[in-house]
Amino acid sequence: MDHLIQIILLLAVAVAIMLIFQRLHVPTSLGYLLVGLILGPHTIGPTVHVAEFKVLAEFGVVFLLFSIGLAYSLPQLHAMRHQILGLGTAQVVLTTALVAILLWLAGQPPALAFVVGAVFAQSSSTIIGRQLAEQGEDSTAHGRLGLAISVFQDVTAVPFLILIPVLGAATGMDKLAGELGWAMVKAMLAFALVFYATRWALRPLFHQVAERRSAELFTLTVLLVVLVAAWTTHSLGLSLAFGAFLAGMMLGETEFRHQVESSIRPFRDVLLGLFFVGIGMLIEPAALPRIWHLALLGALLLLLGKIAVVVLIVRRSGMDVVAAWRTALLLAVGGEFGFALLAIALDASVIDPQAGQIVLNAVLFSLIVGVLLIRYNDAIANWLSRTGNEPPLLSNQLAGLPLPRVLIGGYGRVGHTIAVLLNSSGVDFLAFDIDPKRVQQGRADGHVVLYGDIADPELLSAARAEQASLAIVTVNSHAIALRTVSALRQHCPLVPVIARARDLETSAVLVGAGAIHAYPEAIESSLRLGATALRMLRIPTVNIDQMLQDIRDWDYQPVIENPVKENDQ
C-alpha cells in the first residue's frame, strides 16, 4: 500500500507540473526533470522510493531507441548515408573529440573525457522541433538542417551504447582494446541475430497477428518483440537499448511500421517521462554551491564547442554564413539523449557521482540558455555574420540581374504556376525558395529562381524589393506566409503584397498583417467549380465574372453567411 501512495503522489505531481509547463510552452522533458527534483532524495519534502522505479525508467530509453530504429530502417539509412556520414556523424565525432581532448589536456581521465564529450555532442530534437514550430522556422533551410542533424545524432550515438559500458569494465589500454574488439564482435552477432529473426520470424508473425484484427494482440506482440530484442543484446553483455534499436530498425522495413509506432507510443512516452523523473532525482541542489562554477564552465564548453563545430562543417557544405550560424545556434542546446548516456556511464562507474553532478548541471544550464539561442537565432546570427569580412553570397547571385517587377516568395506548385504566367506575359520576376531542389527545378524551367528566405530583411535589401511593382507570397505554411508578409510590409511598405491562404481565417490574418489580398484556396476552388457549373448552364460569362468579383469585393461574405464545417458532406 505504501508503494501505491508513492505512485499516486508521483502521478499527481507529474500532472500538475505538466499542466503548468504545457501552458507556458516549456518542453515537457524539463517538467519531468523538475518532478524528479521535487520528489528526489536530495530535496526537502516527500520522496518517492519504489524499488522497481529504476527498472521502469531504464525502459524509457529502450522504447525511445526502438522508436528511433523504426524511423531509420536499413534502406533509409542507405539512402541518407551521405547526409548521416557527412554532417550528422561529423558533428557528433568532432564535438566528442574536441571536448574529450580539452578535458584530457586539463588532466581528466581519458574515459571520463570521452563520456563527457559524447554527452555534450547530443542536442535536443524535442526542444529544437517545438521551438522552431512555434517560431514558424520549421520549414526554413536552417531549421530543417538543424532538426535533421539533431535526429541523426540519435542514430550516430548508438555506438556509444556499446562503448560506454566497456569503458567501465576494462582497466589498462591492452584490456580496453580487447574489450572493445569483443564488444564489436558481440554487436555484429546481435545485429545478425535480430536481422535474420526479422526475416524469418517477425514478418510472418506480424502477418498472423494482423489477420486477427485485434489491437490488443498487436500491442502485446510489439512489446514482446522489443523486450526479447533488448534481452538478447543484454545477454551478450551489451545494453538493452541497443537491442531495441536493432529491432526497430528491422521492423521499420516492414509494412507494419506505422502501426507498430502507433502502438508503442503511449508506452514510450510514459516510460521516457519516468526516465527523466529518474534523472531529476539524481540532481543534488546541495552540491550546486560547490560545483556551480564547474557546471557553468561545462555549459560554456558545450555551447561554444558545438557552435564552432557546426559552423565549420555547415559552411564547408556550401551553406551561406548566416544560415550556418543559425543552424549552429539551434544545435548548441544540450540533449535528452545525453542524459541517457550519462545514466549509462554512472551505472557502469565510468565517471564518479561528483563528476556526474557537474555534467548533469552543465547540460541543464545549456538547455536553459539553448532555448534563448534558438528563439533569437536570427538576430544573433546576423550580428555574428556582420563581424566577419565575408562578402554576402546573395549579392553575388543578384549581380547583373535586371530589376524584377515582381517578387515571388516560394517556388512550389503555386509559385511555379504564377512564374509560368508571368513569363508568358513578358513580366520580369525573381523567385526565392528555401528548398534547393525547387531552386534547381526553377532554373531548369528557365526561370530566375534563387535560394533564400524572402522574409529575411537582408535578402529583401539585396534584391531591391522596395523597387518592385508587386510581391506575391505563395508558400504553403501559414506561419511562414505571415512572417513574410510582415517583413515585406516593414521593409517595403509601398509595394503591394498578395498572398496565398488556406482558408478565410488565415486570409483575414494575412490581410491584417499588410497583404492587399490573400486568396483563400478552399473558397476560391469552390468559386471556380461554381463558375464552371454556371457556364455549362449557359449563364453569360460576363455575369459570372461580375458575380465572382462582387463576392471577392465583399470578402466572401455572401458565400459564408451560413458556414458549414469543412468535414461536413
Per-residue pLDDT reduced to its tens digit, 402-438: 556 789 998 888 888 888 888 888 888 888 887 777 8
What is the number of other CB atoms lying within 10 angstroms of the CB of residue 318? 9
Distance CA 459, CA 480 (A): 15
Distance CA 184, CA 6 (A): 41
Check whether 284 has a pLDDT greater than 50.
yes
Q: What is the mean pLDDT of residues 50-63?
A: 73
Check whether 564 has a pLDDT greater than 60.
no
State how beta strands 470-473 and 517-520 pair.
unpaired
Q: What is the mean pLDDT of residues 30-35?
A: 87
Distance CA 228, CA 246 (A): 11
Mean of per-residue pLDDT scores for the chain: 80
The least confident of 151-160, 254-263, 399-408, 518-527 is: 399-408
In terms of pLDDT, which residue wins out, 494 or 126? Answer: 494
Distance CA 4, CA 50 (A): 9
Task: Answer yes or no: are the C-beta atoms of 210 and 218 closer than 8 Å.
Answer: yes
C-alpha cell at 213: 484484427
Which residue intervals of 253-287 are DSSP H helices? 257-282
pLDDT at 50: 63
Percent of the chain scored above 90 by pLDDT? 13
Task: Answer yes or no: are the C-beta atoms of 448 and 430 closer than 8 Å.
Answer: yes
| 407 closest CA partner among 441, 446, 450, 458 | 450
C-alpha cell at 360: 548533469
* 404 phi, psi to nearest 5 deg: -75, 140
In terms of pLDDT, which residue wins out, 88 or 176? Answer: 88
What domains appear along the chain, each with residue ranges and CATH number? 2-385 (1.20.1530.20), 403-560 (3.40.50.720)
Which residue intervals of 336-456 are DSSP H helices? 336-347, 353-375, 377-386, 393-398, 413-424, 436-444
Q: What is the mean pLDDT of residues 483-499?
A: 87
Per-residue pLDDT tens digits for 331-365 = 999 887 788 888 888 888 888 888 999 999 999 99
The least confident of 79-93, 114-128, 143-157, 387-401 is: 387-401
pLDDT at 58: 75
Q: Any idea what the Cα angle at residue 149 is, between residues 147 and 150, rounded to 5°?
A: 65
Q: What is the mean pLDDT of residues 101-124?
A: 91
In our burial notation (b when 16+ CB lie closer than 10 A, e otherwise), range 242-276 reads: bbbbbbbbbbbbbebeebbbebbeebbeebbbbbb
Q: Any idea what the Cα angle at residue 482 is, between residues 476 and 485, rounded to 5°?
A: 105
Per-residue pLDDT tens digits for 198-221 = 667 777 888 888 888 788 898 899
The least confident of 46-60, 147-161, 382-396 is: 382-396
Task: Answer yes or no: are the C-beta atoms of 103 and 112 closer than 8 Å.
Answer: yes
Most confident of 181-185, 435-439, 498-502: 498-502
238 confidence band (pLDDT: 50, 70, 90): confident
> What SS3 state is found at 527?
helix
Q: Which residue's C-alpha cell is 459564408?
A: 560
pLDDT at 562: 47
pLDDT at 139: 60
pLDDT at 21: 87
Check whether 239 has a pLDDT greater than 90.
no
74 confidence band (pLDDT: 50, 70, 90): low
How far, rounded to the nearest angstrom, does the alpha carbon of residue 22 sit from its chain's CA centroid?
Answer: 18
pLDDT at 332: 92
pLDDT at 291: 92
Task: Answer yes or no: are the C-beta atoms of 323 and 394 closer than 8 Å.
Answer: no
pLDDT at 567: 43
Distance CA 475, CA 316 (A): 29
| 500 closest CA partner among 488, 527, 482, 526 | 482
Distance CA 227, CA 240 (A): 8
Q: pTM of the prediction?
A: 0.61
pLDDT at 98: 94
Check whether 73 has a pLDDT greater than 80.
no
| 146 closest CA partner among 133, 130, 129, 121 | 129
Check whether 561 has a pLDDT greater than 60.
no
C-alpha cell at 310: 557546426
Q: Exposed, middle or buried by CB within 10 Å (0-12, 13-18, 19+), for 141?
A: buried
Q: Which residue's C-alpha cell is 542524459?
A: 339
pLDDT at 405: 77
Distance CA 522, CA 560 (A): 12
Check whether 171 has a pLDDT greater than 60.
no
C-alpha cell at 333: 542546446
Distance CA 332, CA 119 (A): 13
Task: Answer yes or no: are the C-beta atoms of 432 and 453 closer than 8 Å.
Answer: yes
Check whether 538 has a pLDDT greater than 50.
yes
Q: Tell me how far apart the terminal alpha carbons of the chain are, to the nearest angstrom.
A: 53
In which order are the strands placed within the sheet that holds 497-501? 449-451, 429-433, 406-409, 470-473, 497-501, 517-520
Check whether 312 has a pLDDT greater than 80.
yes
Distance CA 461, CA 21 (A): 40
pLDDT at 560: 53
Distance CA 83, CA 73 (A): 15
